Amino acid sequence: MSDPINRCPIQLTENGQLRHFLTTEGLPRELLTEILDTADSFVDMSAQQVKKVPLLRGKTVVNLFFEASTRTLSTFELAAKRLSADVLNLNISTSSTKKGETLKDTLMTMRAMHSDMFVVRHSDSGAAHFIAEQVTPDVAVINAGDGRHAHPTQAMLDMLTIRRHKGQFEGLKVAIVGDILHSRVARSQIHALRILGAEEIRVIAPQTLLPRHIESLGAKVYTDMNSGLRDVDVVMMLRLQKERMDSALLPSESEFYKLYGLTRDKLAFAKPDAIVMHPGPINRGVEIESAVADGERSVILDQVTNGIAVRMAVMSMAMSGQLAEKNRAQPDIDNLNL
């Protein structure tokens, strides 16, 4: 493990609090559990008439999206607004050849505007980590997807969805199906599932869409749907990354569907109470049959709801860690709960 972006001590304060959220890899189980617990409280906030808490009031959150995404951007925006932050959305094209220089200039400009948090999406692996290095300690950075590396908030909203449906991770068999090769989501999911103690993590994909050495992350590899889905508790489908597909890794979408599309017939191999997940947007008839996507075992819309709660949790925790660092020198705070 010599890859610096995979170790990421920069994510935590000296006291072990979250200050940036760049990857799920290497984080302690307690911290992931704390994210899920905090997110649970935000899910239940939906009972409020005013669906807003004042935690980030007066803070400025900038969504720096170097790669287009409507869904992720809007849930991050909504999460920040429900925390009462002021939000700025920037869609920045990466077409420029002087990418590094442009990026740095953008960061310095944003920092000069006294932003408190950057939510970063970028097509290059390691971009969020690079940005965090530039702006620590002034700005907290949340990774909203970097290249093929990580998409930690997506993984955590999946974890929240699993926990809310299954109660715990111990004893669970989880299958991740589809384009593992190009999927930052899959990587973050595998790390999170392993840290949280899932019993068995399987990846199911054609040989051409499997990264080499995926087993070293702790996942069992299957190239056949029926045997891979046998007795699993959770089926996590991935979107076919058409825009990331370089060349002829697949014969055709219809053949992919025939072999790896989640149909009712194939789902029958999973446990009768297995849940079906998909990060969206769904390619109906490519990765998943409509009857399954809309079926009673599908929790796809819960994932969307939980996504906002998880992003609120991560944003408030990172801001909290950030502020704690700044205030560490301050005296006794015992007993403020009165």
- Chain centroid to Cα 55, Å, comes to 22
> In this structure, are residues 186 and 176 in contact, taking their beta carbons and an 8 Å threshold?
yes
Angle value at C-alpha 11, between 7 and 13, nearest 5 degrees: 120
Which lies closer to another protein via its Cβ, residue 44 or residue 265?
Answer: 44
Which lies closer to another protein via its Cβ, residue 38 or residue 106?
Answer: 38
List interacting residues with another protein (CB under 8 A): 17, 34, 37-38, 40-41, 43-45, 47-50, 52-55, 316-317, 320-321, 323-324, 327, 330, 332-338
- The least CB distance from residue 156 to another protein, in Å, is 16
Instruction: Copy the structure tokens of residue 86.
Output: 């002021």
> 124: burial class by Cβ within 10 Å (0-12, 13-18, 19+)?
middle
- The least CB distance from residue 325 to another protein, in Å, is 10
- The least CB distance from residue 144 to another protein, in Å, is 21
Cα diameter, the chain: 66
- The least CB distance from residue 42 to another protein, in Å, is 8
Which lies closer to another protein via its Cβ, residue 58 or residue 272?
Answer: 58
Annotated binding residues for L-aspartate, as ranges? 99, 184, 239
Radius of gyration of the chain from Cα atoms?
Answer: 20
Which lies closer to another protein via its Cβ, residue 243 or residue 334?
Answer: 334
- Tell me which residue has tokens 């965090």: 132
Which lies closer to another protein via its Cβ, residue 245 or residue 324?
Answer: 324
Which lies closer to another protein via its Cβ, residue 1 or residue 50?
Answer: 50
> In this structure, are residues 317 and 39 in contact, taking their beta carbons and an 8 Å threshold?
no
In angstroms, the Cα distances linking 65 to 17, 144, 157, 310 are: 26, 8, 20, 19
Annotated binding residues, as ranges? 71-72, 99, 121, 151, 154, 184, 239, 280-281
- The least CB distance from residue 217 to another protein, in Å, is 28
- The least CB distance from residue 324 to another protein, in Å, is 5
Annotated binding residues for carbamoyl phosphate, as ranges? 71-72, 121, 151, 154, 280-281
Distance CA(101)–CA(49), nearest Å, equals 46
Which lies closer to another protein via its Cβ, residue 52 or residue 71?
Answer: 52
- The least CB distance from residue 320 to another protein, in Å, is 3
